[in-house]
Amino acid sequence: MAGTITLADVKTDEKSWWCPGCGDFGVLAALQKAVVDLAIAPSELVMVAGIGCSGKIGNYINSYNIHVVHGRTLPTAMGVKLANRSLKVLAVGGDGDGFAIGMGHFIHACRRNVDVTYITMDNHIYGLTKGQNSPTSDRGAKVKTAPEGSIEAPVRPLQMALAAGATWVGQGFSSNQAELVELLKGAIGHRGFSFLNVISPCVTYNKVNTYAWYKQVLTRLAEDGAYRSDDRQLAMARAMETDELLTGLLFEDRAAPSYEDQLAGFEPQPLSAQSLAMSPAQWQELLAELA
């Protein structure tokens, strides 16, 4: 199939439900481009989408798409991958989906290292429920559920992922398409759990973390010739120093074995393609062990 995938192949005829100008458009466009560049056939791609404005992204990509319950993309993605390890499995969702209701799964997915790619579309706000505080909302952010400004310290997703043992950690910006496409390709190509947080401004409910603001404060790792992405400590330090206002590949460990690679008796052939037949002799053998 390689080389035969075009942009038309990865689009659906579904009309977008997003507000004009929403950052999620940029994430969708970059993802479609990455899938084309990687020549992933639509039937080999599984999108596991969360609940939120962001989670609708799956509806616009021609692929197998399972739109799950709020916050649970990662365990479902793990189930899909274990069932059929030849598929490309992407979990996608918002900052609320991933770092509030789904935080437990996020941390455990990082440390398990199942070969799935997790893309978060981080707008520092709850978009779909119309503007409440998100775990990544800045301290002091005035939102519907914190009219006097948020008093909670924000979650730092990149540091969380690094601390939890993620083997590929990066951050992109939805308006920086060229860099985002490359990051997506890197994340999808990584063997193991890859986490790409994408800054994706909400133009309707977040009047602080806007495109203009991000363009001022973001720095690009790629512009720092001295930065090496194979050092977890360095990555952690850089994330802390910059308050995570950076884009690029922060960390990658190419040698770490994936979860599937470490499972005893787990074959390269997808489970979904294996026969379930058991012979009467095998059955008797099992029972005999219990006698």
Partner 1 sequence: MGDVAWKIGGDQGEGIDSTGDVMATVANRLGYHIYGYKSFSSRIKGGHTHYQVRIADHPVRAATARTDVLVALTQETIDKNVQAVGPGGAVVADQAFSPALPEGSQLALVTIPMAQIARQIGNPLTRNMVAVGASAALLHLPMAAFSAYVSEKFARKGDETVAQNLEALGQGYTAALAQMPEGLSVRLPAVEPAGRLLLTGNQAVALGAVRAGCRIMAAYPITPATDIMEELVTLLPRFGGVVCQMEDEIAAITLVVGAGYAGVRAMTATSGPGFSLMQEGMGLAAAAEVPAVIVDCQRAGPSTGMPTKNEQSDVMAAIFGGHGGAARVVLAPGTVEQAYHDIGLAFNLAEGYHLPVIVASDLSLAEWTQTVEALPYDGIAVERGPVVSAAELASLVTGFDRYRLTESGVSARSLPGQARGQYLATGVEHLPSGKVSEDPANRRLEMDKRERKLATLAREYRGTEYMGNERPDVLVITFGSTVGAVDEAIGLSQGVGQVARLQVRRLWPFPAEEVLAAAQGAGAVLFVEQNAQGQLAQLAEMSGLHHARTRHLRRYDGTLFLPEEIQGAIVSALDLAAKGVS
Ligand X SMILES: Cc1ncc(C[n+]2csc(CCOP(=O)(O)OP(=O)(O)O)c2C)c(N)n1
Interface contacts to ligand SF4, rule CB under 6 A? 18-19, 22, 24, 53, 123, 127, 202-205
CB 250 within 8 Å of CB 261: no
Distance from C-alpha of 10 to C-alpha of 66, rounded to nearest angstrom: 16
Residue 26 binds ligand X, judged by CB under 6 A: no
Residue 94 binds Mg ion, judged by CB under 5 A: yes
Stretch that binds Mg ion, among 86-94, 140-148, 163-171, 276-284 (CB under 5 A): 86-94
Distance from C-alpha of 158 to C-alpha of 164, rounded to nearest angstrom: 10
Q: How many CA atoms lie within 13 A of 111 on its CB side?
A: 8
- Binding partner of 205, given Mg ion, ligand SF4, ligand X, none, CB within 5-8 angstroms per partner class: ligand SF4
- Binding partner of 155, given ligand SF4, Mg ion, partner 1, none, CB within 5-8 angstroms per partner class: none
Distance from C-alpha of 218 to C-alpha of 150, rounded to nearest angstrom: 22
Contact set for partner 1, span 237-266 (CB under 8 A): 263-266
Residue 96 binds ligand X, judged by CB under 6 A: yes
Q: Report the amino acid identity of residue 251.
A: F
Stretch that binds partner 1, among 60-68, 137-145, 215-223, 225-233 (CB under 8 A): 60-68
Report phi then psi at 250, rounded to 5.
-85, -40
Report phi then psi at 265, rounded to 5.
75, 5
DSSP 219-273: EEGGG-TT--TT-HHHHHHHHHHTTT-EEEEEEE-SSSPPHHHHSTT--SS-GGG
Least spacing, CB of residue 123 vs ligand SF4, in Å: 5
**Residues in the site for partner 1, rule: CB under 8 A?**
14, 41-44, 46, 48, 58-59, 62-69, 72, 74-84, 86-87, 104-105, 107-108, 263-267, 270-272, 274, 276-278, 280, 283-284, 286-287, 290-291
**Residues in the site for ligand X, rule: CB under 6 A?**
51-54, 70, 93-97, 121, 123, 125-129, 134
